[in-house]
Structure 1
Amino acid sequence: MRATRYTSADKDVWDVFLRESKNGTFLLQRAYMDYHSDRFVDHSLLFHNDKEQLIAVLPANERDGVLQSHGGLTYGGVICDESMTTPLMLTVFDALLDYLRANGLHRLMYKTIPHIYHRYPAEEDRYALFRSDARIYRRDVLSVIHSDARLPFQKRRARKVAQAQKLGLVVEPSNDLAAFWSILEANLLAVHGVKPVHSLNEIRLLSDRFPSEIRLHVCKENDVVVAGVVMFNSTQVAHVQYISSSDRGREIGALDLLFATLIERDYATQAYFDFGISNENDGRELNVGLIEQKEGFGARSVTHDYYELDVS
């Protein structure tokens, strides 16, 4: 088994392998990964066996002698197909660690891919990490609904949905990212003093590249957008990427109606509905109010682990 560094000449091979993998999503295709190539020094890896067959890939970047899997993505780790076995993954990790040492990279920062994104079981890497004495340094909590076993909405959430329905609010897909982004930016600045991870131009670029996967849904009152959600839709997971509501939207329960519609109608056929995280500070601080809102729709917790490994 040998590891080699990704180059642009590998793009087509990478994307074909990714689409056929058991744990990859569109976020790990090069058209998504490379949109912020100016901010990250890409150091992705490909793993071939002695027959020159591509066995696995690792989306990654390099920073200060550290290999990160990948600093600009929500999740990462070794991407493989259904032929991957646990003994084979151990050889992949042997090749990975040999590569890091040979190239002066002294540490590995590794993001796993939550199991809800796996088409087939794909946690061989977690065993390899354990065998390598990697340390969990961060654990996020995703609030997830299993569509085949949905819990009922909390009574308070159900009342809010009923209130919004009586007002005749309309929930629909939208291409008006600018209208939603103005609400989102104002809220993030006022509450957290930050900007969205993606600028308006970036999210437009990505939605143009992945129109079936990146979708804006809005709630309107009298044709005015009062709340919106940007969804990242992969093979079996509908993931909430951005959420925001105007002051008026909060008064009338616009987000409650929007989420109810997405869960019960627009993404009801997806295996999982993922609200995302409600924690900060490497998972050690929990926003109780935020996670209670998500759990009010019947979501429950799935953990997302991050590992660190010193290879010097």
Structure 2
Amino acid sequence: MAKYHVSIYTKERKTQWDTLVKASPEATFLFRRDFMEYHQHQFLDYSIMVFDNEVLLAVLPANRVGETVFSHQGLTYGGFVFKPDLSFIEIDDILSSVLEFLARHGIKSLDIKITPEFYQTENTRHIIRCLKNLNVERYRKDRIFAVNYAKPFTIHKTKMKHFNKNQDKGFLIEEVNDFGLFWTEVLIPRLAEKHNTTPVHTLSEIELLKARFKNEVKQFNIYLKDELLAGITIFDKGRIVKSQYGATTKLGEKERALEYLFLSLIFKFQTEGKHFFSMGTVRDTAKPLGYNKGLLRQKKELGCLEYNQDFYKITLA
């Protein structure tokens, strides 16, 4: 018998949901409803809320496809988000209550993409330990790269040489509110040309997110003689910042503008007291080894360490 009451999120619970997310040790603006719902037309939301009487203890951002519930496929990572100061015993009961609820409602499996290691709280690590005692399969492990500011990090000597040399080139770096120029003149053309793909976010979507999260969604552009050469889109999650997009023009590539911008931001966020600068994954299933070797080399040369992100499937029936 489930100890706690479990229900599916409804819009009437938005304030309650967001209040828990903001206060949680697992807090990130990606779990707020205004972020989750910018692409709501693409997913059947099946987000879960766990209550002890009227007290909200935990939420699980999620969507449903047939008989499977996913910790939300529209998010880079997911998992449970907990009220502060819960005990491990309470977390055990939350997990049991959720699994019982899903099985009772005809769900055959729950897929959870755990946050990368450097995001993880003690609560998350406890959930991972619990999962290993269940009928669970770890079906995927991604490599995530980030600069850890708590540890000495080394920028490749060639990159530092060019960075120091280019100090006098006349580069201008600006944080801008207008994403249009970067999206239309740099990001979309370069992704099409180099990878035959498009950005995950359309221009209208990233503009909507900027309007909703003015302090968390940021755009940095770099110019030379008033010409835009490159840009980096940043998601600021508090102690962690993530480069969501980075792209350069052909001239910018020649001038090493994107490299200069990355290094400038690495040092900027270090002085601001950030804990990690995440540069994401190198996963590329189109490559023979399943990852992009060029991206791997670039991120390591920018001072990144390698971390894991695990994906689990819990079979319920």
TM-score, normalised on structure 2?
A: 0.93
Q: Secondary structure at the match of 1:145?
A: strand
Q: 1:303 aligns with which of 272, 294, 308?
A: 308
CA distance in 2, matches of 1:131, 1:261: 45
**Structure 1 residue 141: deviation in Å?**
1.1
Q: Which residue of 1 aligns with 2:109?
A: 107
Q: Secondary structure at the match of 2:253?
A: helix
Query: Is the Cα–Cα contact under 8 Å of residues 217 and 235 in structure 2 kept in the other structure?
Result: yes
Deviations, residues 16-37 of structure 1 (Å, cap 9, x unaligned):
0000000120000000001111
Q: Secondary structure at the match of 1:165?
A: helix
**Structure 1 residue 189: deviation in Å?**
1.1
Q: 1:294 aligns with which of 296, 299, 305?
A: 299
**Structure 1 residue 266: deviation in Å?**
4.3
Q: Which residue of 2 aligns with 1:74?
A: 76
Q: Which residue of 1 aligns with 2:224?
A: 221
Q: Which amino acid aligns with 2:290?
A: E
Query: Is the Cα–Cα contact under 8 Å of residues 25 and 117 in structure 1 kept in the other structure?
Result: no
Range with greater deviation from structure 2 (223-232 or 274-283): 274-283
Gaps of 5+ in 2: none
Q: Which residue of 1 aligns with 2:265?
A: 262
**Structure 1 residue 180: deviation in Å?**
0.7
Deviations, residues 66-85 of structure 1 (Å, cap 9, x unaligned):
10100100011110133233
Q: Which amino acid aligns with 1:209?
A: R
Is 1:272 matched with 2:276?
A: yes
Deviations, residues 259-283 of structure 1 (Å, cap 9, x unaligned):
1110112453211111111113399
**Structure 1 residue 285: deviation in Å?**
1.5
Q: 1:56 aligns with which of 49, 55, 58?
A: 58
Query: Is the Cα–Cα contact under 8 Å of residues 7 and 50 in structure 2 kept in the other structure?
Result: yes
Q: Which residue of 1 aligns with 2:191?
A: 188
Deviations, residues 75-117 of structure 1 (Å, cap 9, x unaligned):
1111013323322222112111111111111111111122423
Range with greater deviation from structure 2 (118-127 or 250-259): 118-127
Deviant stretches of 4+, over 4 Å: 118-121
Query: Is the Cα–Cα contact under 8 Å of residues 80 and 124 in structure 2 kept in the other structure?
Result: no
Q: 1:121 to 1:299 in 2, by over 3 A?
A: farther
**Structure 1 residue 157: deviation in Å?**
1.1
CA distance in 2, matches of 1:115, 1:19: 20
Q: Secondary structure at the match of 1:105?
A: coil
Is 1:42 matched with 2:41?
A: no
CA distance in 1, matches of 2:127, 2:269: 33
Q: Which amino acid aligns with 1:196?
A: P
Q: Which amino acid aligns with 2:230?
A: A
**Structure 1 residue 122: deviation in Å?**
3.3
CA distance in 1, matches of 2:86, 2:214: 31
Q: Which amino acid aligns with 1:223?
A: D
Range with greater deviation from structure 2 (7-16 or 268-277): 268-277
CA distance in 1, matches of 2:313, 2:73: 13
Q: 1:203 aligns with which of 206, 217, 220?
A: 206
Q: Which amino acid aligns with 1:83?
A: D
Is 1:6 matched with 2:6?
A: no
Is 1:24 matched with 2:56?
A: no
CA distance in 2, matches of 1:129, 1:298: 33
Q: Percent identical across equivalent pairs?
A: 28
Query: Is the Cα–Cα contact under 8 Å of residues 113 and 304 in structure 1 kept in the other structure?
Result: yes
**Structure 1 residue 121: deviation in Å?**
5.6
Deviations, residues 28-55 of structure 1 (Å, cap 9, x unaligned):
0000001111111100000112x43211
Query: Is the Cα–Cα contact under 8 Å of residues 115 and 122 in structure 1 kept in the other structure?
Result: no
CA distance in 1, matches of 2:80, 2:102: 15
Deviations, residues 199-231 of structure 1 (Å, cap 9, x unaligned):
000000001110100000011011111000000
Query: Is the Cα–Cα contact under 8 Å of residues 90 and 128 in structure 1 kept in the other structure?
Result: yes
CA root-mean-square deviation: 1.7
Q: Which residue of 2 aligns with 1:151?
A: 153
Query: Is the Cα–Cα contact under 8 Å of residues 239 and 276 in structure 2 kept in the other structure?
Result: yes
Gaps of 5+ in 1: none
